Amino acid sequence: MKRVLIPLANGFEETEAIATADVLRRANMEVVLAGIPGQIVEGAHGIKIISDKKIEDAKKEEFDAIVLPGGSPGCKNLSQCTNVIEILKDFNEKKKTIAAICASPSILSKLGILDGKRATIFPGMERDVPMPRDSKVIVDGHVITSQGPGTAVDFALAIVTQLDSKFRADDVREQFVFK
């Protein structure tokens, strides 16, 4: 079973985090929500989530992928978390799946993870990635990027395809009645 880490920092975009977690769990993946700084994290729109664990208790070697939701100030808070940065650097070196949505591709860009890669980001932030593309979701190697809350299900399905198969993603798409 694939294991996916979704770090949640205060100010995260709720739709991006929860829709992605839901899709991945429907695809029979183990999803661990890791709170920053504690286990109770408040989203950008005031929804509070009790995470599975704190980020410092998430061991990078236990995961196959990391997914960064966006949101404001969630993206900024993620970018300032040394645990998240260390995991991203390790995953990039090992070519493990790294996925970021909304403003969070900017974190990948600052770390050099998007160098030479096509990516998408929240509209209006294109200057924050080196090779921006106007697309809902971009998969370039082990990196998946997406634009925002309205693209969260497409984003999650791309992660399922990368970690499992298009067949599994199509199965989940059908469960969702997602066209």
Burial of 54 (0-12, 13-18, 19+ CB in 10 A): middle
- The amino acid at residue 65 is A
pTM value surpassing 0.95: yes
- Summarised one tens digit per residue, pLDDT across range 1-54 is 999 999 999 999 999 999 999 999 999 999 999 999 999 999 999 999 999 999
Task: Domain of residue 72: give its range.
Answer: 3-176
Domain count, the chain: 1
| Domain containing residue 64: CATH number | 3.40.50.880
CA atoms within 13 A on the CB side of 4: 29
